[in-house]
Structure 1
């Protein structure tokens, strides 16, 4: 009830900018799942037979995402957060259509890489946009809204794959993503840019106008003055070279190491292996390739349950805090990994890893493991990565910092995307989930030791944590 009250009492402008930005997550989520649904049908069309080749095909988009994430922060600083999001949504629609029209593997690869560039830019820009536009009291919840939209997109992707599976029409599966791309482009055109970006460009009047619309009852003059002081402390918007140099020395070296490792742990623990390859995992449990209800319906159900977890996370992040939510989610992932190892380790004992037949009890245990893995991720990592991406750095470094964090995230995503299917075939489900479980344990210990708690702190004050050697100054403690 607390979050609902805060949302109801927030200004229409604050909700517009948050919803407009968060909806970009729909296209990211849709693309993550529709390639999983289309993969086997694409492989049949283009005669792709090996698991390694399928992994590379899936990872074309990740390669592009890495490039997009590398340049996203700089582009957002130069051209504005809003302009880049509009460009992302429009180009996503174009390259989705191109993917559906591909006539061979090279043309599909080019379209998917370019699509990935658009997505890579979006996952950098959206957290910046929301963090810089949201009122402090609901900033965490509005950042988590991006994950809500992402999971909704994943569900849509699986449901469409389920509906089209009997026809094997992978072209519509990929090309249909153009529809939300166009709709989101139109929505974004109505949103303003952020007050902090206007301040970075010296447009004080525009910054004041938008800040007053976002928080009509707030101290607009005080907020603008705080932004100016924070920008003055960083000597304006640095070049990429100077910005990276500042990130690699004190006091922000600690922040840089934190976001790089956090971003890497988010993906190396394996969530996108679940999203991309859920149909293959379901088949590895013994379901027939023709059982479309199980192969596509069960992954969709897993995501629906995960969506509930995101809403819970959204309601708690500004009350419990970032660290408790994140640690709880990772802990659930560790438990899920143990269940998956038990499922394949005992249920498939003595069987060929490429031709497993689990009985009903182990199938149910495996499905529970998938559910818990997804619930743990969406509650913790999936929600908090966008929070920390938007909050970790001061305004003049936020673009580069977000790019750095999400590039690390995507590098780990690429590793998992390429390696998961061959590893599944080589070691079976027990081996691959044991590896992911070890990474989850390491991630838990890392967060426990190094993650800052930013709940309730003004965005411009978070730099004080890093400037004080990874501790909050006594006079700046949150209530």
Structure 2
């Protein structure tokens, strides 16, 4: 196998956990339209079914970062794939709401684990000059997973096959379990555990020899500092980046992206479309999501992380504000329903080209090697918690306030996110992970 092919497979399987996250995020939107035929769910229980995945994700994200720092990224990814497999089968066979919720919690453990580990693994495997684009593969896989979920939803709509929709996640989970057996361990984790010879061999798959020597020299210099993971996490120089990472993680969810992903068919049916048309409209949004993520991959190492976040905030906020204005002033018609699809599509376009991939790229970039897994796990825990809050209360807000006011709230949050990024978020483009860490230590000394 040549070097480029080996590199391709490494990053494909490295990012495959993102596809499972995307599939299990998107599939519930279509399944919800038909679950009530077999299992009666109140509005509150519907919110619990959707959000229970995030309860598991909070636990999974909190645990997996520390565990991966101790036992390695590769082993944890295998366990995550196994949990994905178990959770999807439990959901497909659920006889009642309690088992349905339990299955979503199990699946959430894997979702939380993959959100914490996949970005770290991709960032640590990637050469500096390609780190943004290669780490963005996580978001690309998430968006592809969402589109696959929408396609499966559409395919099984005629038979109302929600069990098939939920259960088919077991297929990519099985592929990931097999693929991870052939994935290399993160070279930075190997250096941390005094396995330089193995690290050099793995780095040779993605880097030139001169790059390898320089990176290993920088890694070993950092390793000379005697610190535990906990010492690093509680240190004064890490605290600002924990706040920045936590801020962008929470804002990514509070601007409403997963409310759209989870409930797009519900939004469209309330706007006047039928079930099949709603799922078809959602599929269109999913395809836009994938295409714009490809745009992000092409631009993130050129334009930079911070600039993309700011551009995204402007585009998302304006899309939501215009959509809310239309919904406030126009009567409900088929044309207005399809305008809802169009402006939510614009919202998705800006998110997918900016905040979607950039946050996943930046989180592991912000943190030092000795606590990268744990710190990324902590911030993705907060991301999952924010996701939980949005997904749990969105149906309630939609019923109490109406679609237009909900979009006004999300637009307001977009303005706050813009101000946060402008003031606090640093640029990490074109800098090695060790350079970023060294600068942080220097600023605190």
With normalisation by structure 1, the TM-score equals 0.89
Distance 2:133 2:356 in 1: 13
Paired residue for 2:257, among 271, 293, 298?
271
After TM superposition, give the deviation of residue 243 of structure 1 in Å: 4.2
Distance 1:219 1:362 in 2: 55
| Alpha-carbon spacing, 1:13–1:226, altered in 2? closer, same or farther (3 Å) | farther
Superposed CA offset, 1:275-332 (max 9, x none): 00001000111123xx41x111111101111211111111000111111112111211
After TM superposition, give the deviation of residue 377 of structure 1 in Å: 1.1
SS in 1 for 2:36: helix
1:335 maps to which residue? 318
2:102 maps to which residue? 110
Paired residue for 2:216, among 219, 224, 236?
224
442-451 vs 359-368, greater mean Cα deviation: 359-368
1:370 maps to which residue? 344
2:166 maps to which residue? 174
1:245 maps to which residue? 234
Q: How does 1:463-478 map to 2 (within 5 A)?
A: 463-469=437-443
Structure 1 residue 428 and structure 2 residue 402: aligned?
A: yes
Distance 2:223 2:209 in 1: 24
CA RMSD of aligned residues (A): 1.8
2:358 maps to which residue? 384
SS in 2 for 1:452: coil
Structure 1 residue 195 and structure 2 residue 187: aligned?
A: yes
Distance 2:329 2:408 in 1: 13
1:148 maps to which residue? 140
Q: Which runs of 5+ in 1 are unaligned?
A: 1-8, 349-357, 474-479
Q: Is the 8 A contact 1:85 1:188 kept in 2?
A: yes
Structure 1 residue 346 and structure 2 residue 329: aligned?
A: yes
336-345 vs 408-417, greater mean Cα deviation: 336-345
1:419 maps to which residue? 393
Q: Is the 8 A contact 1:69 1:407 kept in 2?
A: yes
Q: How does 1:74-89 map to 2 (within 5 A)?
A: 74-89=66-81
After TM superposition, give the deviation of residue 437 of structure 1 in Å: 0.7
| Runs of 4 or more consecutive aligned structure 1 residues displaced over 6 Å after TM superposition | none
| Alpha-carbon spacing, 1:347–1:16, altered in 2? closer, same or farther (3 Å) | same
After TM superposition, give the deviation of residue 231 of structure 1 in Å: 2.1
Q: Is the 8 A contact 2:272 2:334 kept in 1?
A: no
2:40 maps to which residue? 47
Superposed CA offset, 1:170-221 (max 9, x none): 1111111001111122222211001111011111221122122321443323
Structure 1 residue 302 and structure 2 residue 285: aligned?
A: yes
Count, aligned residues: 444
Distance 2:34 2:337 in 1: 25
Q: How does 1:111-150 map to 2 (within 5 A)?
A: 111-150=103-142
Distance 2:89 2:298 in 1: 36
Distance 2:159 2:211 in 1: 58
